[in-house]
Amino acid sequence: MKIPAVNIDLQWLPAPVPIARARVTAQEWLAAAGAVRDAGGRLLALWGGAPAEGRAVCAAYVIADGLAWLELSLPGQQTRYPDLVPVFPCAARMQRALADLSGLQAQGCQDQRPWLNHGAWPLEHFPLQQGADAVPPFTDSALVDYPFVRVEGDGVHEIAVGPVHAGVIEPGHFRFSVVGEKVLRLEQRLGYTHKGIEQRMTQMPALQGHRLAGRVSGDSTVAYAWAYCMALESAAGCEITPRAASVRALLLERERIANHLGDLGALGNDAAFAFGLAQFSRLREDWLRLSKEAFGHRLMMDCIVPGGVAGDLDQALIDRLRRQCDAIEPEVQNLRAVYEEHAGLQDRFMTTGRVTPALAAQLGLTGLAGRASGQAWDLRSDHPWAPYEQLQVRMATHRNGDVAARVLVRFDEVFESLRLIRAILADLPAGPLRQEVAMPAAASRGAGWVEGWRGELLVVLELDSAARQHRIVRCHCHDPSWQNWPVLEHAVIGNIVPDFPLINKSFNLSYSGQDL
């Protein structure tokens, strides 16, 4: 694999999806970013390298041939690297998080405000540059106000929402600048759910890391566990069986449907259509209850394990899963017709929270929200791995980029996932469910890249040698919410304040998933 117009040779990793890696110089770092952008590629993730090998910054780019993982080593005591924001605006928050955790600063970056560090550790303490068991020193310093960007002008006032919200919503602060009810600007401050997952990973045996990965964001537990296991299996050179791959895909598609059902109901409720919430909540509850019976957990947590899956399906269970697909599809079709024919609902959905395809491409909008704005990216279609290469996934896309488009993409993906589940169940391969993962003697690395329901997830994993008991040296989990939270700020501009909950739910981004 080569990055277009840049002479960088990438070495393939033994993964079921096309992932390659290379070390680069500072000049190649910037040249590669520009070449990827010019060729229509995207920045997927940015993180700090393993400190055991010296300071380094890493970037993952999606290009036509697959995923390119580039690593820039920083010699000696150097802590600065070339800023990627002028090339990829979505790098801004990733660079700020990298500075908080690893002490590496983007040279010339204008926004250097702390992102994850809300005063929980001193500004000069960088958790991921410490030992695995290091505890940050306690600091009893005064709180510092976060310097939100102010909008000045006649009639402009601010509305502060959060970080504590009603109900069970996770914490996040939203600062609106408005004239009357019209939103001029929205600025988010997140990071309130920072859990220290990346350092905790370095304290765990590699064969146990999938359980923590599956808890990064509970609504994507299957996707994260699969991405972690894919990374571990890549590092160990382990190939899972066809039956295990099919069961993993079954779990992933059930997770996708469960989340879309919940969101479609919540979107109806946010537009004062409580009937939609009641009906979709009923369908989702039935869906989750069968997941509990079939796989031992409503969200199917801990079902994907290194080398395969934790449990098998007998014929009676296969028949029940198939019958549920047959029962739910006509109900969702009827509800889609109700949504599309309800004038009041469509009045709230159409043109609200619009992100044009051009803006979506510029800001790196990804996942289902990106597909609703003309960004035709779906890893299951673009770089299908087992069993998706046999299933021929039909990508759901739209170009209007408003709430209505994001609703339509969800409906289409529900129907497509139902088709995929039926196809998987109809041709479930025979054979074992799990292979032993034989850990390599030498230090190794791997990556996992999976299309979750919200968008593509990435897990990169660096392991120590057998002499060091295969401890995790570095594990970075990337959620598509990193790219999409900043786009939500733009989607709200020009809309009225009461439409924010509707627009926000149409994206339904993860707080927890991007607050590692």
Same domain for 202 and 112: no
Name the band, by pLDDT with cuts 50, 70 and 90, for residue 137: low
At residue 64, what is the residue type? A
Query: What six digits make up the tokens of 259?
Result: 């989340």
d(CA 404, CA 406): 6
pLDDT of residue 144: 73
pLDDT band at 193 (very low <50, low <70, confident <90, very high): confident
**Would you say residue 304 lies in a domain?**
yes
Number of residues in the chain: 516
304 and 418 fall within a common domain: yes
Q: Are 57 and 48 in contact (CB under 8 A)?
A: yes
Confidence band, pLDDT 50/70/90 cuts, at residue 134: low
pLDDT for position 139? 65
Which pLDDT does position 409 carry in this prediction?
Answer: 98
End-of-domain residue from the set 116, 148, 171 = 116
Report whether pLDDT(119) > 90: no
- Asked if residue 315 is part of any domain, the answer here is yes
Residue 122: inside a domain, yes or no? no
Q: Report helix, strand and coil shares of the chain as percent, to nearest 5.
A: 45, 20, 40
Confidence grade of residue 131 (pLDDT, cut at 50, 70, 90):
low
Residues 95 and 227 in one domain: no
Question: Among 409, 341, 345, which Cα is nearest to 374's?
Answer: 409
**Euclidean distance between CA atoms 346 and 340, whole angstroms:** 7
Task: Specify the residue for token string 């003309």.
Answer: 374
- Are 111 and 205 part of one and the same domain? no
The domain that holds 382 is classified in CATH as 1.10.645.10
Average pLDDT over residues 177-184: 95
Strands (E), 151-305: 156-161, 173-179, 182-189, 304-305
pLDDT of residue 155: 92
**Alpha carbon distance 112, 99 (integer Å):** 8
CATH of the domain at 96: 3.30.460.80
Please say which residue of 116, 140, 173 terminates a domain: 116
Give the pLDDT confidence score for residue 141 in this predicted structure: 61
One domain for residues 229 and 359 = yes
Looking at the fold, whether 83 and 204 belong to one and the same domain comes out as no
pLDDT for res 136: 65
Q: Can you say whether residue 10 is alpha, beta or left, with left for phi > 0 and alpha for psi between -120 and 50 degrees?
A: beta
Asked whether residue 145 is domain-assigned, the answer is no
DSSP H helical segments within 296-314, as ranges? none
H/E element holding 333? helix 315-341
Report H helices in 350-496.
Answer: 357-363, 367-371, 379-382, 388-391, 403-426, 481-492
Task: Give the tokens for residue 399.
Answer: 């170009």
Identify which of 449, 470, 471, 474 has the alpha carbon closest to the alpha carbon of residue 461: 474
| Of the listed ranges 36-50, 94-108, 135-149, 443-457, the one predicted with least confidence | 135-149
Range of the domain at 356: 197-505
Share of residues in the chain with pLDDT > 70 (%) = 96
The dihedral formed by the CA atoms of 400, 402, 404 and 405, expressed in degrees to the nearest 10: 50
What is residue 449's predicted lDDT score, i.e. its pLDDT? 98
Band (440; pLDDT cuts 50, 70, 90): confident
Pick from 288, 314, 292: which is nearest to 302 by CA?
292
User: Sorting pLDDT into bands at 50, 70 and 90, what band is 239?
Assistant: very high
In the predicted structure, residue 388 carries a pLDDT above the cut 90: yes
Domain end residue (candidates: 116, 133, 154): 116
Whether 166 maps to a domain, the answer reads no
Q: Which residue has the tokens 């220290």?
A: 196
Query: What is the band of 129 on the pLDDT scale with cuts at 50, 70, 90?
Result: confident
Verify that 206 and 80 share a domain, yes or no.
no
96 shares its domain with 212: no
Q: How far is CA 221 from the centre of its chain?
A: 11
What's the whole-number average pLDDT of the chain?
Answer: 93
Same domain, 97 and 204: no
Q: Which percentage of the chain shows pLDDT scores above 90?
A: 82
Q: What is the DSSP string of 454-513?
A: SSEEEEEEEE--GGGTTBEEEEEEE-THHHHHHHHHHHHTTSBGGGHHHHHHHH---SGG
Give me the amino acid identity at 179.
V
Q: Which of 487, 484, 481 is nearest to 516 (CA)?
A: 481
| pTM exceeds 0.85 for this model | yes
Report if residue 515 sits inside a domain: no
Residue 164 belongs to some domain of the structure: no
Q: Is the pLDDT of residue 211 over 60?
A: yes
DSSP state of 164: S
Q: Which of 65-79, 84-98, 242-256, 284-298 has the lowest mean pLDDT?
A: 65-79
Does residue 140 carry a pLDDT above 90?
no
**Residue 25 forms part of a structural domain:** yes
Question: How far, in Å, CA of 89 to CA of 105, rounded?
Answer: 16
- Average pLDDT of the residues in 23-39: 94
Tokens representing 232 are: 């571990």
What band does 296 get if pLDDT is binned at 50, 70 and 90?
Answer: very high
- Give me the long-range contacts of 394-401 (CB less than 8 A, separation at least 24): 395/371, 396/368, 396/371, 397/371, 397/372, 398/371, 398/372, 398/373, 398/374, 399/357, 399/373, 399/374, 400/350, 400/354, 400/372, 400/373, 401/354, 401/355, 401/356, 401/357, 401/360, 401/372, 401/373, 401/374
**CB 372 within 8 Å of CB 400:** yes
Question: In sequence order, what are the residues at sequence separation of 6 or more whose Cβ sits closer than 8 angstroms to the Cβ of residue 15?
Answer: 230, 231, 233, 234, 446, 447, 448, 449
Q: Are residues 356 and 494 in the same domain?
A: yes
pLDDT at 358: 97
Q: What domain count does the chain have?
A: 2
SS3 for 483-497, per residue?
HHHHHHHHHHCCCEH
- Do 108 and 243 reside in the same domain of the chain? no
Amino acid 30: pLDDT: 94
201 and 112 in one domain?
no
Q: What is the pLDDT of residues 345-386, one digit of tens each?
A: 999 999 999 999 999 999 999 999 999 999 999 999 999 999
Confidence at residue 52, expressed as pLDDT on a 0 to 100 scale: 63
